[in-house]
Structures are given as structure tokens and as C-alpha cells.
Amino acid sequence: MTKHYYCNPLKSLWALLAFLALPLTALAQGDSPPPVLDSGDTAWMIVASVLVLFMTLPGLALFYGGLVRAKNVLSILVQCLVIASVMSLLWVIYGYTFAVTDGNAFIGSSSQLFLKGLTEDTVNGTIPNSVYVMFQMTFAIITPALMVGAFAERMKFTAVMIFSILWFTFSYLPVWHMAWNGGGLFAGWGVEDFAGGTVVHINAGVAGLLACIMVGKRQGYGKVLMAPHNVPMTVIGAAMLWVGWFGFNAGSELAANGSAGMAMLVTQIATAAAVIAWLAMEWAVSGRPTAVGAATGAVAGLVAITPASGSCGPMGAILIGLASGAVCYLTATTMKRKLGYDDSLDVFGVHGIGGIVGAVLTAVCMAPALGGSAGADFNMVSQIIVQSKSILVTIIWSGAVAGVILSVLKATIGLRVSENDEEIGLDQTEHNESAYE
């Protein structure tokens, strides 16, 4: 007997609508659509990662290398190169997991030690997570490398490396987590630090200041001329830092979009303004603008715009650039002379102070009235307070960590080379090489 099946059009229509509604039902129950890779974002972030690595190798190495005396230039280049290598390994072994993953307000968890679970298909937003790991690795590389300029020309290579490793572990990673993990202390306060004012510059600047004080002054400091041995090298290095910094700031948006474009624009504007401000101060005080002054002013502007680059507009960038150029000049010259510390290459004066200036002015320049991206209910006073709190915590945290590490090293292996080795130069005594014949 043949069966006849009757198809009810109304029931079929309801079934089709129910099937089409399944994705909406899933979303209503709290599920989110799977992340989708964006080839444009991915391409940009690969380029940004290369640019930030370019800042250290060779940008920072040449900038610092030209500022020291000829007998110590190789020691600077070696320190930057080896720090880059060591931090690359530490970042993938344990740095990434303790910085990035959820844990508590101060540090992440050990859930992704050795990049556990990372494959070529792992996605972070619209980019492969491998690209994000690489991008953040370049930040982990440059931050300890910044410190070597503070104690250049007299610290043992062994002490430099141990100090960098321990400081990275106990200061860089926690401050990263506090600022950039959603559950971190600074993030909970509502601190705006787009690309690393606290994480990179204040953090490294304070540690560098403690280190240069505890290591002690160079022999003859204040009595013997210690002029840069290769000013063109320094200017070239500063130019490389300037170019690479677009990856640093615009890359921190993690996408190729309008926010990244604005971050790139304000970075250029602030840096240009800082060069003008530094040279104006130098010209007024000493009677001549110098190439080293222009190069250092550029770095000061780059530092100061870093925390604000995701939230300020062009006019705010001019304000940040002018302020950082003037304040960093006074810190690196007048204040350093009066207090008598030997910050060889002005790490604290440029990175520490520049980071502080930028972090505070971020709260001013993110205001809508100055072209910033804050909403209509923005409260500048409240934002200045939270920015200041993050600065204070970073200063105390980095200073305490650096002080403990340096004290232990000083009591065990010693921090600085012998007087004879310092007189000969670190290139020969630490590395058995010479930059020039």
C-alpha cells in the first residue's frame, strides 16, 4: 500500500524560520561568533612587529652607541643584541603567560607556560595569536635595553644581564599585567596607557636611575670631557627610533583602522614639537642648537606621546610634544647637574620624566575640547588622579625591585668593572674587541 505524505506549508515555514533563528538564539544565550582573521590587520601587525624590533636593533643600539666614548661602543651594541636574544626566549618560556593571561590584579597565571596551546590557527581578535605574541615580545625586548644607557661605560656585562633578567621578571611583567590585562590594577582604575608610558618608559627610567646611583659615577665624571664619540651614529639611531615608533604606537591598536592612523599622526606631531622645544631651550641656554639635542628631543617626544597616542588629537599632541621637550631638557641638564647623579645617556631624564609628563597629560589631552577621544561625561580631574596613581605605583614598584636586585648583585658578584678596566674601556676588557683600529 502506497503512503501519501502531506506537506503542510505553514509548518514548513515555521521550521525554516526556526532554523534560521538558531544563530540568534545562540547569541541570546551568551555565545559569541567565532573570531575571524582579517588579512589587513594581520599584515599591518606583522609590519608593526618588525618596526618595534627595528627600534632596538639597530635603532637604540646606534643611538646609545654613538653617545658613549669610542672605547665602549661595542659594549653597548653587545648589551642590546644579547638582551634582545635573552628576552625573546624568556617571553615565550614564561613572560607571555604571566603578563597576558588572567590571574589577579598584579600578575597572570602559569596556564600558558612555553606558549602552551599556541598553534598557527590560534586567533587573538582579528590577528593570529602568534603575531600578537611576537608584537608584545618586541616590547619586552626594548624595555630592559633602554636601561643600559643609564649605567653605560662602567657596569659588568654579567651584572647587566642578571639585572635585566630579574628586573624583567619581577617588574616588567607585573606592570604589564597591571596596565594591559583587563583584570589588572591599573585597568581596573581606568588608567589610559595606550602603548606603554608606565609599562615601558617610567618602569625602565626609574630602574635606570636606581642603577646608575648604585653603580656609582664614571671615573672623572664632571671633570673629564665625556663627549659622544660619533654624533652621526646617534642621529641615525634616533631617526630609526622615530620610524620604528610608528609600529610601537600605531601598532598598539592591533588593527589597521582609523585609531591606528590617528595614533600614527599624533606620534609624528608630538615628536616634531618636542624637537623644536628642546632646541629652543638649548639655544636659549647655551647659545647653539646641537644635533645631539635634536636627536634627544625627538626621543623625548616619542616617549611622551606613547601613553596618549590612542586617545589624544593633533592639538593635544603639540601640547605633549612641547611640554616633554622642555621638561626633559631641564631634567637631563639642570636637574642632573644639581643632584649629581651620573645617568650616562639620560635614561631617567628622557624616558622616566618623558613617560611621567605623557601619562599626566594624557588625562588632559583626551578631553573632547582638545580633540581627544573621551566621551561627553569625561572628568579630567578624576582621570588625572588615576593616571597619577598608576605613575606612583610604577615608580615604587620598579624602584623597589631594582633596588633589591642591585643590592644583592653588589654584595655578591659586584656591579662595576675595576678602575683599570674602566680606564681601558669595556670593549677590550669585557669583550676583547675594539670598534676602531
pLDDT profile of the chain (437 residues), mean per 10: 44 47 48 81 98 98 98 98 98 98 97 97 96 98 98 98 98 98 97 97 98 97 95 98 98 98 98 98 96 98 98 97 98 96 97 98 95 92 98 98 98 98 98 94
What pLDDT does residue 376 have? 85
- How many CB atoms neighbour CB 42 within 10 A? 17
Compute, in degrees rounded to 10, the torsion defined by CA atoms 18, 23, 26, 27: -130
Q: What are phi and psi of 205, to 5 degrees?
A: -65, -45
Indicate if the alpha-carbon torsion angle 44, 127, 258, 299 is positive or negative. negative
How far apart CA 94 and CA 167 sit, in angstroms, is 14
What pLDDT does residue 386 have? 98
What pLDDT does residue 22 have? 44
Phi and psi based region of residue 19 (left: phi greater than 0; alpha: psi -120 to 50; beta: remaining)? alpha
Q: Which has the closest alpha carbon to 281: 289, 273, 271?
A: 289
404 is written with which cell numbers?
633589591
| 348 neighbors 208 (Cβ within 8 angstroms) | yes
Amino acid at 124: N
